[in-house]
């Protein structure tokens, strides 16, 4: 199809070259057990590579490498560490086309609307944190006049980063870049569904950083994740993924009394008040629902509360916009919407769509068209769906679907909209759409969510604190304080001068 494109040809070659490998201690490594699992393109369902299956022995070897590297890495000045990450950002920027193609091949996300964007933000995250080395400052404390009292920030040691498949590169960067600048060494466990793009990025990093500073293992949760999160030399676990796995990780961390950061799911409300600018709001719903990522986003606007005076127009206009989007080959520049990541997720999303179709009073609008090309006929494509007539208590409005499915729910009273928005187990993100400052301030103040936007819905950005409340997680990522609070330990030093 697109093999004549040099970036895609290079990505295909990387997939072969990196097959059946972990990377630790500065080198590509064979899995000690010899086990591997196939990497399948969800668009063609063809095998595009093979990933090493890590187990406790690989974990042991990677932890040993990370531990050995940590003291010398921590002894470097923070700015010198940061400079290495800024250099890494340049290298990543030079490779964005290949990174994007690799990501599209293994995840089925569209290259133009998603993968290239992610590859660029990946580099941006390294540049951002690379510049923050000198911010690892302590404080002087006016405790007593005869005592010099101060704090210093120290690295924790070896950090385990467990990442998902939906935005694997950015989510990995937002964990490992601050951890490394702060003087920790890291071991990434990639997601089974997206092991190769992360491995390629770690390979680029490891060519610049001292051996053992950045390490990556692939493998499933039970075989590779379990020994990693329970290893006695891991000092911190940072995780993004499902609530269920987040709780397993929190238990493992509790057993060893180590800190964790958890970024879990969402059922993020979008509140459209009666004075909202309709055109802008509809465009915001398209980007906010992350239709170009097949809705596989923890911040997807999957519950849209619309004032009843705007409801019909809103649904019509949103349907028109989504109908105009192209579902197709992820590697094709014309494609807006690619595929669902895996059979498991495909079946899960389909089961929610079936649930809606069987529910009394619920209407389903199936939008855009499935691709017709013969080579894509087995691809994991799903048409976006807008449900109307859903109650906020229905499973469709309560559970994270993680697919291109949103529920539009009408309201008359603004208070009702805020109450319904907060009536959720989750509290990750929320957006408010209005032309009235008072309405905006009232809603943003009262919404139970960690990341709230007015009249826009953009994704997490380096520099902005990001993280949820309730079942959506613990701790913050992406900002300066995310590095300070989550990847360092503060020591208080009191010197008696008498
Ligand atoms: P998951 O939470 O099981 O997987 C995420 C990561 O955790 C993967 O690297 C996986 O290998 C690892 N993992 C799984 N079990 C583990 C264990 N016992 N110990 C250590 N690591 C373990 O999520 P999954 O199964 O891929 O997706 C299920 C649902 O989770 C999705 O439908 C979606 O609702 C939610 N999800 C949310 C994400 C977010 O961005 N917050 C990302 C991915 C999934
Ligand atoms: Mg799972």
Tens digits of residue pLDDT in 7-58: 999 999 999 999 999 999 999 999 999 999 999 999 999 999 999 999 999 9
Residue 53 CA to ligand 2 centre (angstroms): 16
CA 389–ligand 1 middle distance (angstroms): 30
238 lines ligand 1 (CB under 6 A): no
How far, in Å, are 180, 373, 444 from residue 453 at the CA level?
30, 39, 8
The mean predicted confidence, pLDDT, of the chain is 98
User: Of all protein residues, whose CA lies closest to atom 8 belonging to ligand 1?
Assistant: 191
What token pair was written down for 213? Answer: 């500073």
Atom of ligand 1 nearest to the CA of 264: 41
Question: Which residues, 6 or more positions from 358, have their beta carbon under 8 angstroms from its beta carbon?
Answer: none
> Rounded to the nearest whole angstrom, what is the distance from the C-alpha of residue 173 to the centroid of ligand 1?
17
pLDDT at 2: 55
In tens, the pLDDT along 347-388 reads 999 999 999 999 999 999 999 999 999 999 999 999 999 999
Look-up: residue for tokens 């405790």? 143
Confirm or reject: Cβ of 189 under 6 Å from ligand 1.
yes
For atom 11 of ligand 1, the residue with the nearest CA is 221
Q: What are the C-alpha distances in Å from 478 to residues 45, 243, 462?
A: 34, 20, 5
Whose CA is closest to atom 6 on ligand 1?
164
**Ligand 1 centroid from CA 233, angstroms:** 23
Q: Which domains does the chain have, with CATH numbers?
A: 6-264+473-492 (3.40.605.10), 269-462 (3.40.309.10)
| Band of residue 4 on the pLDDT scale cut at 50, 70, 90 | confident
User: Which residue has the least CA distance to atom 40 on ligand 1?
Assistant: 298
Q: What is the pLDDT of residues 54-75, one digit of tens each?
A: 999 999 999 999 999 999 999 9
Q: Does residue 264 have its Cβ closer than 6 Å to ligand 1? A: yes
Site to probe by mutation for ligand 1, drawn from 221, 295, 344, 425 as the one with most ligand atoms within 8 Å of Cβ, is 221
Quote the ligand 2 centre to 269 CA distance (angstroms): 24
Nearest-angstrom CA–CA distance, 463 and 461? 6
> pTM of the full predicted structure?
0.98
Banded model confidence at residue 453, pLDDT cuts 50, 70, 90: very high
Confidence band of 298 (pLDDT split at 50, 70, 90): very high
Nearest CA to ligand 1 atom 9: 191
Active-site annotation holds for 477 = yes
- Please tell me if the CB atom of residue 400 comes closer than 6 angstroms to any atom of ligand 1: yes
Pocket mutation for ligand 1, best pick of 160, 164, 345 (most atoms within 8 Å of C-beta): 164
Residue having the nearest C-alpha atom to atom 4 of ligand 1:
241
Query: Strand (E) positions, 87-231?
Result: 140-144, 147-155, 158-162, 185-189, 214-217
Whole-number Å distance between alpha carbons of 453 and 456: 6
Q: What is the number of the ligand closest to the CA of 162? A: 1
If you count them, how many residues does the chain have?
A: 498
Rounded mean pLDDT of 107-118? 98
Q: Render pLDDT for 317-342 as a digit per residue (tens, 0 to 9).
A: 999 999 999 999 999 999 999 999 99
Please pick, among 109, 175, 189, 476, the residue that the annotation labels catalytic.
175
From 298, 400, 407, 476, the catalytic residue: 298
- Is 175 annotated in the active site? yes
Q: What pLDDT was estimated at residue 82?
A: 98
Q: Which is the closest atom of ligand 1 to the Cα of 245?
A: 2
* Helical axes 168-181 vs 78-94, angle rounded to 10°: 160
Mean pLDDT of 264-276: 98
- DSSP code of 337? B
Which-ligand-closest: CA of 234?
A: 1
* The one catalytic residue among 106, 114, 127, 263: 263
For the question of residue 298 being annotated catalytic, the response is: yes
pLDDT band at 215 (very low <50, low <70, confident <90, very high): very high
Write out the two tokens for 347. Answer: 């079946």
What are residue 385's DSSP bridge partners? 366, 405
Which atom of ligand 1 is the closest one to the Cα of 345? 32
| Residue 222 Cβ contacting ligand 1 at under 6 Å | yes
**Banded pLDDT at 148 (limits 50, 70, 90):** very high
Residue among 442, 446, 426 nearest 434 (CA): 442
Q: What pLDDT was estimated at residue 3? A: 59
SS3 210: coil
| Exposed / middle / buried, residue 356 (Cβ in 10 Å: 0-12, 13-18, 19+) | buried
Q: Is 164 in the pocket of ligand 1 (CB under 6 A)?
A: yes
pLDDT band at 464 (very low <50, low <70, confident <90, very high): very high
Task: List 14's β-bridge partners, or say none.
Answer: none
């Amino acid at each position: 199809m697109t093999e004549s494109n040099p970036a895609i040809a290079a990505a295909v070659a990387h997939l072969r070259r990196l097959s059946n490998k972990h990377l630790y201690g500065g080198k590509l490594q064979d899995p000690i057990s010899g086990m591997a699992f196939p990497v399948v393109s969800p668009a063609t369902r063809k095998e595009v590579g093979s990933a090493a299956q890590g187990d406790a022995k690989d974990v042991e070897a990677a932890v040993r490498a990370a531990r050995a590297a940590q003291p010398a890495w921590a002894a470097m000045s923070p700015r010198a560490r940061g400079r290495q990450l800024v250099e890494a950002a340049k290298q990543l920027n030079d490779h964005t086309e290949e990174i994007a193609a690799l990501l599209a091949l293994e995840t089925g996300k569209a290259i133009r609307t998603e993968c290239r964007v992610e590859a660029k933000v990946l580099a941006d995250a390294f540049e951002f944190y690379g510049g923050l080395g000198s911010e690892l400052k302590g404080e002087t404390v006016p405790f007593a006049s005869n005592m010099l009292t101060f704090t210093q920030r120290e690295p924790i040691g070896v950090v385990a980063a467990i990442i998902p498949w939906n935005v694997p590169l950015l989510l990995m960067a937002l964990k490992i870049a601050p951890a490394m600048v702060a003087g920790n060494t890291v071991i990434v466990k990639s997601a089974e569904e997206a092991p190769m793009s992360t491995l390629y990025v770690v390979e680029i990093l490891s060519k610049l950083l001292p051996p053992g500073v950045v390490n990556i293992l692939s493998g499933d949760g039970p075989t590779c994740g379990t020994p990693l999160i329970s290893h006695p030399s891991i000092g911190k676990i940072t995780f993004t993924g499902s609530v269920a796995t987040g709780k397993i990780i929190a238990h493992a961390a509790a057993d060893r009394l180590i800190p964790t950061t958890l970024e879990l799911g969402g059922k993020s409300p979008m509140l459209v008040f009666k004075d909202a600018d309709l055109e802008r709001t509809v465009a915001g719903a398209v980007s906010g629902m992350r239709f170009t990522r097949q809705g596989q986003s923890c911040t997807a606007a999957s519950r849209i509360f619309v004032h009843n005076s705007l409801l019909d127009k809103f649904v019509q206009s949103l349907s028109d916009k989504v109908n105009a989007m192209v579902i197709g080959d992820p590697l094709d520049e014309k494609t807006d919407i690619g595929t669902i990541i895996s059979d498991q997720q495909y079946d899960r999303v389909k089961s929610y769509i079936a649930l809606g179709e069987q529910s009394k009073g619920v209407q389903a609008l199936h939008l855009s068209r499935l691709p017709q090309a013969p080579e894509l006929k087995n691809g994991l494509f799903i048409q976006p769906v807008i449900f109307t007539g859903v109650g906020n208590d229905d499973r469709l409005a309560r559970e994270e679907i993680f697919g291109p499915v949103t529920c539009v729910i009408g309201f008359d009273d603004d208070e009702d909209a805020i109450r319904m928005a907060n009536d959720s187990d989750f509290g990750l993100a929320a957006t408010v759409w209005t032309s009235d400052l008072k309405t905006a301030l009232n809603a943003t103040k009262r919404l139970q969510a960690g990341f709230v936007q007015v009249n826009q819905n953009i994704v997490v950005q380096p520099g902005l604190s990001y993280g949820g409340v309730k079942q959506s997680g613990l701790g913050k990522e992406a900002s300066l304080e995310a590095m300070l609070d989550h990847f360092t330990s503060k020591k208080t030093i009191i010197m008696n001068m008498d």
